[in-house]
Structure 1
Amino acid sequence: MIVRYWQPLTEIETMRRQFDRVRNDLTTTDSAQTAWAPVIELKDVNDAFTLRVQLPGITAEDLDIQVSRNAVAIAGEHRQESEQSNNGTVRSEFRYGKFHRIVRLPAVVQNDHVQAEYKDGILNLTLPKVTEARNQVVKISLGKPDPAISSSELAAEAGE
């Protein structure tokens, strides 16, 4: 009699590969119509946020950017060059079509002072924070107040 050990991890791995093949077959046949969204990078730099968005192959005319006090909405379309060039394509993983992305901001910004730059497929937005949302440094005295230091000097030391 042959003793055969059951290895569930091997069977699970086989099923995972089969599911991946089915998923790839379904997505590669209609990849041109699949919705997509650009990737972002949001940084907090003291008095402002910087938002970087990767938009390769998209012209500035195909972008619509709207900034509210607490969110940024970016919409646009990545157009395919021409239908004639598609005849020779064997496989394409490029995403074409319209996209819409809303980025919520962690603090309120001055949406009327936003600066934008679009270069080499990267959109850079500088979103200045409102004064109340900025990190303000306040010096706290634990002992008795020093009579030689005035309140205006304290404000100057704190960077205000």
Structure 2
Amino acid sequence: MRTLVQYNHVPSLFNHLVAREFNRQFSAPAVAKTATPVAANISEDETAYHIELAAPGLKKEDFNINLNNNQLTISAKQEQAGEEKTENYTRKEFSYTSFERSFRLPKNVNNEQIQAAYTDGILKIDLPKIEKTVVEPKQIAVA
């Protein structure tokens, strides 16, 4: 014989909080991913395309910019190491920062005149456009 039992379908606040904290503590990755994409602003005017990347704290030597098959790849790597020694202990700290962004360039970019500059934490890349040659209409005589 079966009996009916009253069941409360609304979970208690206490159970909800305990379950959420348990899941947060034990389902977190062992190594936290802190890499965020580098913000990029892209603009265009009559003569060029302009890319600006926000990359504060780096030096211009940290950047590597490559162009291969109309794909512009911008990457940077920075490594820092610190060591503090005293009588009782030695403390070593290491940090590593890197990023890479790629952009497919339009066909009207003059690959030979691309310029880059890094000032105040902003990497600016200018991609000049190829000047279009205007084809004048021409009348062809039939012989």
Q: With structure 1 as the length reference, what TM-score do the two structures score?
A: 0.54
**How many positions carry a matched residue from both structures?**
121
Q: Please identify which structure carries the higher helix content.
A: 1
Shift of the 114–26 alpha-carbon distance from structure 1 to 2, 3 Å rule, reads same
Which AA in structure 2 matches 1:27? V
Structure 1: gaps spanning 5 or more residues: 90-94, 137-150, 152-160
Per the alignment, residue 65 of structure 1 pairs with: 65
For residues 62-100 of structure 1, the C-alpha deviation after alignment (integer angstroms, 9 at most, x for no partner) is 21112357321112212225244xx498xxxxx724433
The runs of 4+ residues in structure 1 deviating greater than 4 Å are 11-25, 34-37
Which AA in structure 2 matches 1:125? I
Q: With structure 2 as the length reference, what TM-score do the two structures score?
A: 0.59
**What is the root-mean-square deviation in Å for CA atoms of aligned residues?**
3.9
**Which of structures 1 and 2 has the bigger CA Rg?**
2
Structure-1 separation of matches of 2:107 and 2:16: 45
Residue 130 of structure 1 and its aligned partner are, at CA, apart by 2.0
Q: Please identify which structure carries the higher strand content.
A: 2
Shift of the 108–60 alpha-carbon distance from structure 1 to 2, 3 Å rule, reads same
- From 13, 23, 31, the equivalent of 1:27 is 31
Structure 2: gaps spanning 5 or more residues: 85-90, 138-143
Structure-1 separation of matches of 2:46 and 2:69: 17
Are the equivalent residues in 1 in contact too, given 2:83–2:92 (CA < 8 A)?
no
Residue 109 of structure 1 and its aligned partner are, at CA, apart by 0.9
Residue 107 of structure 1 and its aligned partner are, at CA, apart by 4.5
